[in-house]
Amino acid sequence: MNIVFFGTSQFAVSVLKRLKISGCSIAAIVTQADKKSGRYLKIAASPVKEEAARLGIPVYQPLDITKEEFIESLKSFGADFFIVVSFGKILAKEILYIPRFCCLNVHASLLPRYRGAAPINWAIINGEDKTGATIIKMNEDMDAGEIVLQKELKIKADDTSGTLNDRLADIGAELLIEAIELIQKGKAHFKKQNEEDATFAPKLTKKDGEVDWKLDTVSILNKIRGLKPWPGTYSFLKGRMLKIISAEAKSDKDLLRFSPGEVVTANENTGFIVKTGDGALSVLELQLEGKKEMSVELFLRGHKVEVGIKLG
């Protein structure tokens, strides 16, 4: 089975590895161009490009995937399938009809729910109790192709986008191998998506991580989990960004005199508790701007936080 693989993120790496182990012949990998990242904005390759180097597979990084020269190079591989996993760009119509069978996409949601760039994050942020992975035969619309296979997965109470990403990548890879075999044997069943059930998971930005303390405690905790590890959740303490790595709900009778965002208590004995819209939240791990991640106990040893000061 001859394949051209399109992918960029760590999620795509897990699927790529599984394809390679399964015995598929991967003729080439297409990934996004190297970008500046990190604190010092160094040029960095995508996780998929790094994995391709380890596997010894040729890599293409076109700035414009619609250019005729690139499309002709894709045709030259004589691929049976194009596999698209967290690539980050929409394939042009001309590309969709190049492979002998079809273009397959691995999507980390129960389509048609959570179409878009960040399905894992938004499922947690929105408090869903389940999600899943879907294999679709791609068409010209984003994540709207016919469903080949789909599998449900329960979201755990302590899942972050990072841990859920890993579990969904494993499921997606298994489904993909099965889908390829079914299509190759002519035994696949293609199911149209119900457009009335479609919801969307837009791309995240760093701004999405800012905490609105007027929200209820559960919504804030879901946001912390859903945005970990990236872009992270934060507020501001005396003008400095304070990243909230982990937290838990806290019940406290003496909350009526505080408004959302105000510090209820902050010492090594009682912890770092902040008022929310309907209760309180106890910060467990955090990172002050310019400092390393640390436990709240360690943070409070070196930083005095006054009761009543407002975050935000």
pLDDT at residue 36, as a whole number:
77
Q: Mark whether 90 and 47 lie in a shared domain.
A: yes
- Domain for residue 56, yes or no? yes
pLDDT at residue 254, as a whole number:
76
- Domain for residue 309, yes or no? no
Q: Mark whether 174 and 210 lie in a shared domain.
A: no
Contact predicate 83/3, CB 8 Å? yes
Summarised one tens digit per residue, pLDDT across range 35-62 is 877 666 788 999 999 999 999 999 999 9
Q: Mark whether 181 and 220 lie in a shared domain.
A: no
pLDDT at residue 42, as a whole number:
84
Query: pTM of the predicted model, to two decimals?
Result: 0.95
Q: Mark whether 267 and 132 lie in a shared domain.
A: no
Q: What is the CATH number of the domain that holds 295?
A: 3.10.25.10
103-107: average pLDDT: 98
Q: Mark whether 49 and 114 lie in a shared domain.
A: yes
Q: Mark whether 74 and 120 lie in a shared domain.
A: yes
- Domain for residue 217, yes or no? yes
- Give percent of the chain with pLDDT exceeding 90: 93
pLDDT at residue 256, as a whole number:
82
- Please measure the distance between the N-terminal and C-terminal CA atoms of the chain and give it in whole angstroms: 54
Q: Mark whether 122 and 233 lie in a shared domain.
A: no
Return the axis-axis angle of helices 47-55 and 10-22, rounded to nearest 10°: 20
- Domain for residue 308, yes or no? no
The residues pairing with 236 across neighbouring beta strands, listed in sequence order, are 241
pLDDT at residue 278, as a whole number:
94
Q: Mark whether 222 and 187 lie in a shared domain.
A: no
Q: Which domain holds residue 145?
A: 2-197
Given 197, 226, 247, the domain boundary residue is 197
pLDDT at 294 over 80: yes
Given 172, 197, 222, the domain boundary residue is 197
- Domain for residue 310, yes or no? no
Average pLDDT, the chain: 96
One-letter-per-residue 3-state SS of the chain: CEEEEEECCHHHHHHHHHHHHHCCEEEEEECCCCEEECCCCEEECCHHHHHHHHHCCCEECCCCCCCHHHHHHHHCCCCCEEEEECCCCCCCHHHHCCCCCEEEEEECCCCCCCECCCHHHHHHHCCCCEEEEEEEECCCCCCCCEEEEEEEEECCCCCCHHHHHHHHHHHHHHHHHHHHHHHHCCCCCCECCCHHHCCECCCCCHHHHECCCCCCHHHHHHHHHHCCCCCCEEEEECCEEEEEEEEEEECCCCCCCCCCCEEEEEECCCEEEEECCCCEEEEEEEEECCCCCEEHHHHHHHCCCCCCCECC
107-112: average pLDDT: 98
Q: Mark whether 8 and 35 lie in a shared domain.
A: yes
Given 170, 197, 224, the domain boundary residue is 197
Please indicate whether residue 41 or residue 110 has the higher confidence score (pLDDT).
110
Please indicate whether residue 16 or residue 269 has the higher confidence score (pLDDT).
16
- Give percent of the chain with pLDDT exceeding 70: 99
Summarised one tens digit per residue, pLDDT across range 204-232 is 999 999 999 999 999 999 999 999 999 99
Confidence of residue 275 (pLDDT cuts 50, 70, 90): very high
- Domain for residue 127, yes or no? yes
- Domain for residue 124, yes or no? yes
Q: Mark whether 170 and 40 lie in a shared domain.
A: yes
pLDDT at residue 131, as a whole number:
98
pLDDT at 155 over 70: yes
Q: Mark whether 80 and 225 lie in a shared domain.
A: no
Q: What is the CATH number of the domain that holds 8?
A: 3.40.50.170
- Domain for residue 64, yes or no? yes
pLDDT at residue 249, as a whole number:
96
Number of structural domains in the chain: 2
pLDDT at 183 over 70: yes
Q: Mark whether 144 and 163 lie in a shared domain.
A: yes
